[in-house]
Structure 1
Amino acid sequence: MNFLVVTYAPTIKRKDQFFSYAPYVKEMDLWFAHAENIGIISPYYYKDEILEKNFKRNDIKRFWLPFFFSSTLLQKIRTVLLVPVIVFQLIKAFIWADHIHLRCPGNVGLIACFVQILFPWKTKTAKYAGNWDPKSPQPLSYRIQRKILSNTFLTRNMSVLVYGDWKHQTKNIKSFFTATYRDSDKEPISSRKLDGIVKFSFIGSLAVGKRPLLTIQIVEALFKKGHNVRLDVYGDGAMRNELEVYVTDNQLQEIIKLHGNVKGEFIKEVHKTSHFMLLPSKSEGWPKVVAEAMFWGSLPIVTKISCVPYMLDDGNRGILTDPNVENAVENIEKMLQSEEKYQIAVEKAIEWSRTYTLDKFEQEIKSLL
């Protein structure tokens, strides 16, 4: 089988190895394990630095796409002029492929959604890594991709993999997930009591969309109300200096620590010792850090976005909150008041998250192919 991936993530060749964005590489290695011949159509470079990792296989057939952006007016004009080239390259790659795998949403995904209409007899999958919630505000290009992918007349012979379980979807829309750990990683979880220091963690980019400042303000409000709380922040980004200034100006150094980026193995230990993991994001697809925290018994506190209510069973496996300090503190205090309620929620979170392992993920991929 000739398995083709359509993506905007660059495929960079150095000597006899191929590199790309690390989380994407880790997933695609699992898909590639079930294909005889593999191909990727993507740009060959990227102008910014990315977190790189090499693919396990070095027999990748590359199909070239031009590198393009659509931020400024000149970039948009250039992109429009490049569309015929992109379409030609996609058609050439699609002719080679037996199975076409689209990575959506994105600029390349948008054009590929139209081109795949010309190949109704080819088997196809699309991994929609964004927010599939029909009620959520989305950019126009994302809405167009969702419309085409869920239209079973235009999009034939395709399974569209989305995060969450949404009502009233067409028959080709399939609830999917992503995973970090294997069945062999499961181990007993030590119980965490709420009668001492209550530990919170934030793990992610220090960017506006992740709302790290709101995270700090929530823990600050709990502290001022007399709760014995601590917050450890892991990650880096544009907001780091602003957060450090806020912590210093409000004299929060004793309860809030900014650690910067750390390795994945260390984050696992953080999840094992934290009582709660805070992530009041503006938008998510399938937030892996939420499932990872649940896997190790750290109860997630997350805003009601995308498939997160599905992951948390509408609050039975964690805390769903509005994106403001008052509502978050109110919901957290309700949990802190009942040790039994907290322990039950943690047990449910562990049980649910441990069904979504890389072993199950591989089985699902195999069935799709």
Structure 2
Amino acid sequence: MKFLVVTNAPTLYQNKTYCAYAPYVREMDIWSDNVDEFKILSPNSYSGKLLTAPFKNQPELVAVPSLQLTSIIHIILSVIKLPIIIITLFKAMIWADHIHLRCPGNIGLLGCVVQIFFPKKIKTAKYAGNWDPKSKQPLSYRLQKWLLSNTLLTKNMTALVYGDWPNQTKNIKSFFTATFTEAEKEPLKVRDYRSALEFMFVGSLVEGKRPLFAIQLIEQLLKQGQQVRLHLFGDGVLRPKLESYIKSHQLEAYIILHGNQPKDVIKTYYKTSHFLILASKSEGWPKVVAEAMFFGVIPLATKVSCIPTMLGHGERGILVEADLGQAVKVFNSYTEANFKSMSTKALEWSQAYTLDRFEKEIRDLILFEENRV
């Protein structure tokens, strides 16, 4: 099978090998294990910092320019680039037996349009954003969701989305993602919630993830006399601002910025921490929530996308609004018994979603799609 991936995620050539954003690479390694030929159509440059990993199965890269719509100049340049990208997409899709779209994203949007002209091709799409029909999203995101759901325009497609949502078309399949294997399962390590509490934040230090909210939550708990400490893992444009805030508010002893760290390092903190804070503005399936729960860490998270479902609507974690006062009040309303119950239920739920199961689901999906046509 000739397998084509269409994605906004940049594919970079480093140390004589193709690499990309590490969590995405780990997933694509699973897909590519089940095909004969593997191409990626994507941009091949990125100006920011990126935690990268090499592809196990090296792809053939079809490089296209990136599209940016953040200014008038960028919009004009993007319009000029459009014909080149569309022609390249057509050629790549002619080559492919299986077209796999990674959405949402500008290149993914073009892929959603061009795939209409290949109704007999096997197609899958991974929509990694918030599929909630009621959520407020940019027009380009809503258009991608509409195209993927439109079974008149989009033929032979299975779209993988996060969460179970009402009134979906038959080609929409609820899916998940995973990090840890069956072999990595461990019994619950019972925490002591009466002594010093360890919190984590894992994610990019950008506005959408609200890392400052996590810091200020810890600050408020400290002011109440609670013994708490926060470990932040990740990097991004907000790091200087966060460092300045920590220093100016004399929080250095209680809040530690670790930067980007490998999976095994973060895993050691999952095993000993009490809580994970994720106050994101939007999410798809937040892997860090499932990862933390795998070891009994209790998420404290905002009610976006499928997070309420992941947390059992409050049975497996703490659901809050993006309001500091409300979040502190909700956190303080729980007892030690509540926390122990949440930790147990979190681990039991998350350990059902292993990498072994994820690999089987993808393998079954590829074989199903191949046999369906």
Same fold flag (TM > 0.5): yes
The answer to whether the Cα contact below 8 Å between 1:46 and 1:67 also exists between their aligned partners in 2 is no
Q: Secondary structure at the match of 1:153?
A: coil
**Alignment match, 2:91:** 92
**Alignment match, 1:140:** 139
Of 343, 346, 349 in structure 2, the residue corresponding to residue 349 of structure 1 is: 346
**Alignment match, 1:101:** 100
Q: CA deviation at 1:15?
A: 7.6
Distance 2:127 2:66 in 1: 21
Distance 2:114 2:130 in 1: 23
**Alignment match, 1:34:** 34
Q: Relative to 1, partners in 2 of residues 1:299 and 1:15: Cα closer, same or farther, differing over 3 Å? A: closer
| Structure 2: gaps spanning 5 or more residues | 367-373
Q: Secondary structure at the match of 2:357?
A: helix
| Structure 1: gaps spanning 5 or more residues | none
**Alignment match, 2:363:** 366
Q: CA deviation at 1:78?
A: 2.0
Q: CA deviation at 1:69?
A: 2.5
Q: Relative to 1, partners in 2 of residues 1:261 and 1:84: Cα closer, same or farther, differing over 3 Å? A: closer
Mapping 1:162-241, distance limit 5 Å: 162-241=161-240
Q: CA deviation at 1:129?
A: 0.8
Which amino acid in the other structure matches residue 356 of structure 1? Y
The answer to whether the Cα contact below 8 Å between 2:100 and 2:125 also exists between their aligned partners in 1 is yes
- What does the per-residue CA deviation read over 1:288-307, in whole Å, with 9 as the maximum and x for residues that have no partner? 11111101111000011111
Q: Relative to 1, partners in 2 of residues 1:238 and 1:11: Cα closer, same or farther, differing over 3 Å? A: closer
Distance 1:39 1:253 in 2: 47
Q: Relative to 1, partners in 2 of residues 1:16 and 1:203: Cα closer, same or farther, differing over 3 Å? A: closer
**Alignment match, 2:9:** 9
Distance 1:217 1:361 in 2: 36
Q: Secondary structure at the match of 1:19?
A: strand
- What does the per-residue CA deviation read over 1:253-285, in whole Å, with 9 as the maximum and x for residues that have no partner? 333333333332121111111111111111212
TM-score computed with the length of structure 2 as normaliser: 0.93
Which amino acid in the other structure matches residue 218 of structure 1? L
**Alignment match, 1:71:** 70
The answer to whether the Cα contact below 8 Å between 2:49 and 2:236 also exists between their aligned partners in 1 is no
Q: Relative to 1, partners in 2 of residues 1:185 and 1:75: Cα closer, same or farther, differing over 3 Å? A: same
Distance 2:138 2:189 in 1: 43
Which amino acid in the other structure matches residue 343 of structure 1? K
Q: CA deviation at 1:16?
A: 6.0
Q: Relative to 1, partners in 2 of residues 1:10 and 1:218: Cα closer, same or farther, differing over 3 Å? A: closer
Q: Relative to 1, partners in 2 of residues 1:67 and 1:260: Cα closer, same or farther, differing over 3 Å? A: closer
Distance 1:364 1:225 in 2: 47
- What does the per-residue CA deviation read over 1:293-338, in whole Å, with 9 as the maximum and x for residues that have no partner? 1011110000111111111111111000001111111111122xx2
Distance 2:19 2:237 in 1: 26
The answer to whether the Cα contact below 8 Å between 2:283 and 2:305 also exists between their aligned partners in 1 is yes
TM-score computed with the length of structure 1 as normaliser: 0.94
Distance 2:354 2:115 in 1: 31
Distance 2:183 2:360 in 1: 15
**Aligned residue pair count:** 366
Which amino acid in the other structure matches residue 37 of structure 1? E
- What does the per-residue CA deviation read over 1:193-236, in whole Å, with 9 as the maximum and x for residues that have no partner? 11211221222222222212221221222222232222222333
The answer to whether the Cα contact below 8 Å between 2:298 and 2:342 also exists between their aligned partners in 1 is yes
Q: Secondary structure at the match of 1:53?
A: strand
RMSD: 1.8
**Alignment match, 2:149:** 150
Distance 2:243 2:5 in 1: 41
**Alignment match, 2:54:** 54
Q: CA deviation at 1:242?
A: 2.8
Distance 1:25 1:210 in 2: 22
**Alignment match, 1:278:** 277
Say which is worse superposed, 180-189 or 208-217, in terms of deviation.
Answer: 208-217
Q: Relative to 1, partners in 2 of residues 1:179 and 1:118: Cα closer, same or farther, differing over 3 Å? A: same
- What does the per-residue CA deviation read over 1:11-42, in whole Å, with 9 as the maximum and x for residues that have no partner? 34468632222222111000000001112222
Which amino acid in the other structure matches residue 291 of structure 2? E
The answer to whether the Cα contact below 8 Å between 1:189 and 1:272 also exists between their aligned partners in 2 is no
The answer to whether the Cα contact below 8 Å between 2:308 and 2:314 also exists between their aligned partners in 1 is yes
The answer to whether the Cα contact below 8 Å between 1:322 and 1:328 also exists between their aligned partners in 2 is yes
Runs of 4 or more consecutive aligned structure 1 residues displaced over 4 Å after TM superposition: 13-16
Distance 2:21 2:72 in 1: 27
- What does the per-residue CA deviation read over 1:102-159, in whole Å, with 9 as the maximum and x for residues that have no partner? 0111111111111111111111000011111111111111111011101111111111
Q: Secondary structure at the match of 2:333?
A: helix
Q: CA deviation at 1:340?
A: 2.0
Q: Relative to 1, partners in 2 of residues 1:36 and 1:265: Cα closer, same or farther, differing over 3 Å? A: same
Say which is worse superposed, 220-229 or 316-325, in terms of deviation.
Answer: 220-229
Distance 2:141 2:362 in 1: 24
Q: Relative to 1, partners in 2 of residues 1:75 and 1:341: Cα closer, same or farther, differing over 3 Å? A: same
Mapping 1:319-334, distance limit 5 Å: 319-334=318-333
**Alignment match, 1:110:** 109
